[in-house]
Structure 1
């Protein structure tokens, strides 16, 4: 059981109101014409931390404060992250005056490390994978009494991300399909619960990296498995789902209707196209929906389709790399 319900997502919406941006859903004229469809872009890039992760973090911290009071966070909060989640935890902790230690693997780009440190959190670089970084998180929780804010595998986190689904229904109630980056599963799972509660026929499409796709490999195996974490333009989609995953594995299995994997070249092309044609500055993980449409020539003619532009945590150096790979 994953424990994420429509009622929890509605409660999350009330908790995060005023603390998280209600992001716009805009029509892409270029993509709509190319695919002969109504293609909409959900701009989570406009969150204060530049990514959707703030929704889940604010929901979880707010819920903990409601239940246990300020004393629950007296020792501070900690997490491991591929970057965006850590930035969200640092931002929320700074606003609440709570100490924060963010553990990152050496795979996380330096620009994301700097963004977290700029918010006042302590950063610890541990190992070459998110799972290794979580070893330090476990020690901080056990020895220092810090509170873990998990990046995805928690019903409060997934419910916070699910508020995106409620906003999609408000702005495009006749939506046919949503393409969502798939990694730990909190984003896709939360959105899926919110949308399918009223539109069970709506297609939820996950998009993963071609290599190091932990959720993809776990779904094929029928249980959580470990994968080797590799460098990617879509680095936010890297990392494991945890062998003891208690929420998002079941959640993704329940709500996801279709799934595609995309190459580095396809991610690069999509990043460049979104910048040049739609003036959207996005990281690789935010471009995978368009990458799937391009690479797999998905037929969406006549449909209303939303792409979740999940974050903007990309350096100019990485964008130049994407341009070269895309031959632009």
Structure 2
């Protein structure tokens, strides 16, 4: 697998880095609401909040990291344009950020990325390359474009400015809920929970951070279990945004996830569908499986949660096709 040719030195990640990211993105990325879920709290016996990251213009939290990373490019790099590899949401974020800045963007995806996300990327005017059976294949093509055309690679997770951008979610949570006890979010490449975990653990080591993934193709979960980065086979799942490898040359998110995420859990497809249906019925939002996976895990009591805690669930995105969404959840409505 190809690797990045630039930024060979591993940068030190700190909470200050995240505050710098907040200032960097504030003109483009707006704060999202933290919603108290009264019914879920009553049903589960805890105080539960939902962080509405699906309300970003790109319909997912990925906008934070994409904007921060592109803002740190030089003028020369911006003139050449950017490229990335993605399971969809990061590609959408990079395409939108590039459009706002007048920069060329080429998004590389595998054959498993849903059609609704491909169409959205095209609508933003970005170039789209569908390459291979897995995100690792799309990554390889991405670095080919860097070498051949000089495009700057904006990785989807294993990049300090991307991680710092996602970490701004934690700053907002602490502003609105200083007494937070536990944060639960989807675990894929680890960019989301690396940034959130960094801020939470350095603020208060007792704040717990849980990662949730689908049962098959959970690369970070399997890597954590093995104690080293491993490759997994991608399979169809309602939580398609959580697919993708973490890279054999991973420099940031594997170690940060190991350091800052207390535990990761595998969640079955029926629980993910149940979470999607619950958010549609009770909160009137149509979100993708990766956004509802934490809710589903709570509904089926798959997580070791103290009933007296203040819990925040990251509702990560809503880039989902309406027809397929209802087919997935119809038996739970």
TM more than 0.5: yes
Q: Does 1:118 align with 2:116?
A: no
Deviation sequence 1:139-162 (CA, Å, 0-9, x none): 100111110000000111000000
The within-5 A match list for 1:177-256 is: 177-256=182-261
1:316 pairs, out of 305, 311, 322, with 322
Corresponding position of 2:180: 175
1:38, 1:2 → 2: CA distance? 37
The within-5 A match list for 1:262-277 is: 262-277=267-282
Residues 286 and 311, structure 1, Cα contact 8 Å, conserved in 2: yes
1:108, 1:55 → 2: CA distance? 21
Residues 77 and 151, structure 2, Cα contact 8 Å, conserved in 1: no
2:32, 2:56 → 1: CA distance? 7
2:302, 2:97 → 1: CA distance? 40
The 3-state SS of whatever aligns with 1:244 is: coil
Q: Does 1:9 align with 2:18?
A: yes
1:209, 1:23 → 2: CA distance? 25
1:258 pairs, out of 259, 263, 272, with 263
Corresponding position of 2:151: 146
Corresponding position of 2:41: 32
Unaligned runs of 5+ residues in structure 2 are 1-9
The within-5 A match list for 1:292-311 is: 292-298=297-303, 299-311=305-317
Q: State the superposition RMSD in angstroms.
A: 1.2
Corresponding position of 1:104: 109
Structure 1 residues 73 and 93: CA distance shift in structure 2, 3 A: same
Residues 44 and 299, structure 2, Cα contact 8 Å, conserved in 1: no
Deviation sequence 1:25-58 (CA, Å, 0-9, x none): 0101110110111110000011010000010011
Greater shift in the superposed pair: 196-205 or 104-113:
196-205
1:156, 1:277 → 2: CA distance? 35
The 3-state SS of whatever aligns with 2:51 is: strand
Corresponding position of 1:165: 170
Corresponding position of 2:132: 127
Shift of 1:194: 1.1
Corresponding position of 1:291: 296
1:266, 1:2 → 2: CA distance? 38
1:22 pairs, out of 11, 31, 34, with 31
Q: Does 1:49 align with 2:58?
A: yes
Unaligned runs of 5+ residues in structure 1 are none
Shift of 1:136: 1.2
Moved over 4 A (4+): none
Aligned residue pairs total 323
The 3-state SS of whatever aligns with 1:212 is: coil
Greater shift in the superposed pair: 38-47 or 315-324:
315-324
Structure 1 residues 204 and 96: CA distance shift in structure 2, 3 A: same
